[in-house]
Structure 1
Amino acid sequence: MDSHALPHDEAPLVPAAPASEAAAAVAREPWHFHLPSLVELGPFLALVAACLFFALQSDRFFTAQNFALVAQQVMVVGLLAIGQTLIILTAGIDLSCGMVMALGGIVMTKLAVESGLPAPLAIACGLAVTTLFGIANGLLVTRIKLPSFIVTLGTMNIAFALTQLYSNSQTVTGLPDALTVLGNTFSLGGAEVSYGVLLMLALYFLAWLALRETAPGRHVYAVGNNSEAARLTGISVKTVLMGVYALAGLMYGVAALLSVARTGVGDPNAGQTENLDAITAVVLGGTSLFGGRGVILGSLIGAMIVGVFRNGLTLMGVSSIYQVLVTGILVILAVATDQLSRRGGR
């Protein structure tokens, strides 16, 4: 008898495929410490190799202040990459993250400057807007079952239009200090480190801990590995996906706050390249675009790889267009490596 003809309540009696077994194991078994594999170490080794290369090309590269500058330059994309990683781990993708971030930044700044709202309340409103966009994406993906690529392509354009309409395409200036405090710096080892960088690192640690040590985190991997197998083990796939998209939206709001703090203005034209930068960071960090495999800290390393390449090429006097070219090549190589590793594992 064809196994596909069996009713859903008999499906567990069918012998599980290897992917199903892996998903069930991810959902049920606790995490244990293990030495990282070469695949997991790949992004870190690539970052070290890039640093060594640029250190040989420029005396200014290997300084504490330059590394602090790179960290400040990637903190916004790094925050976007947290949300993007969660979505890609579930075999989805979010093209709207940059535009949603820009909308959140404009909401925060306009409410604080033009409407006179206290800064904490204005920030909360901005976070609420970006989270609502995440929830909307999740509803369209889970309830109507639209592909995440199409859904987020649509919401990207909606967010861009709303940003331009609400801001009248004008930059918001004269921000209160509370909106820019995360852009302030403190001295550490001869370098000026931004408070926003510390926030980014703290959120990465929390995300890593949640994905590694909690049941909901393991469910994210299980859904990305095989959503049907995850459902058969008792995981609510829709709940997991809704939670992932909502958390991603919240991360985009935090990224908006860091963007505002770093630039000191509410820029309606922000976020136009950050969506691709965030996807680039996730892919370079070793997270599979096919879902179910990856480490959140790898996305931080991926963001640093992009930042190091752009910083190093700038110090070498290379035109910015070549920096974009190199980034594109790195993405293709990372995706090709992921595809080859999947084929080798079969």
Structure 2
Amino acid sequence: MSGELLEALVDLMREKGLDKEVIIEALEAALVSAYKKNFGTGDNVRVDINRDTLELKVFARKTVVEEVADQTQEISLTEARKINPRYDLGDVVELEVTPRNFGRIAAQNAKQVVIQKLREAERGLIYEEFANREGDIVTGIVQRIERDNVIIDLGKTEALLSKSEQMPTEEYHSGDRIKTYVVEVKRTNKGPQVYVSRTHPGLMKRLFELEVPEIREGIVEIKAVAREAGYRSKIAVHSRDENVDPVGACVGQKGARVQMVVNELKGEKIDIIPWHPDPAVFVAAALSPAKVVKVEIRDMEKMARVIVPDYQLSLAIGKEGQNARLAAKLTGWKIDIKSESQAAELE
């Protein structure tokens, strides 16, 4: 059996990407079950597989006692000392009990248990691989849609794109190739469950990292992202090199870089804002494309009162308040927008 077993182990390691030790340990556990099933014994047994020759041996483990009450679990001190004079009460003696035909029987009965152990080990490897990718982008193919949830094939496992994480402006069809953001990876009895998102701000950040070398190199930093997925987003960027324009780097020549991100997000509009340490300057920039006359910062309330020209008021607020809402989310400040005439009336 050793030659056949060795060949099978090599094949499994190559196919599953598993370590030889993982497979041997799984096989040892499986053979303990096979022994007990086929030889109807209550013995406390251990199966040992030689790591080099793959020779199988079965050992019965018995505790040394003064008087034996259970022969399957215990051995008398007298008998133990016949084996080795050093044995004392409470020690565990291992006696080889390998049946002559154990190799054939074990091979027949251990198969399913071995497969199960291998599946568990493989699931563990897949879990570790994807757990390390939390907060990253994965590319997959839409496999099916179940109760409004989109199941995405990632190759080694599936990902779940729930209704709440789907962009409201998108439709998903089997065979579509899409990029998603890994929000969380959980262990389950059926293997790792990967939860992904198309609406998470992290997706926007990672997409820009893919398209803009200056971000990958750490020259340009994305300070904040605010999204209303599928409709409009704002990102705040800052350059660590005064010679590099962070907005220009993200826009790219003729808008090529930002357009790649817009295309991936199916037309979502993106405002790229220069970050500034002065909250008044930052808030004014965040309300782009509206022009701002004045910003009053109220630190205690974490509020910014913004004054804009009368004709810019609707632009600053945006359709259904979207521009102001995104600016507030991007900057972390509550924003109160007034037109110049409204501000004059309050004075």
TM range (shorter): under 0.3
| Higher alpha-carbon Rg | 2
TM-score by length of 2: 0.19
Give 1 or 2: higher helix fraction.
1
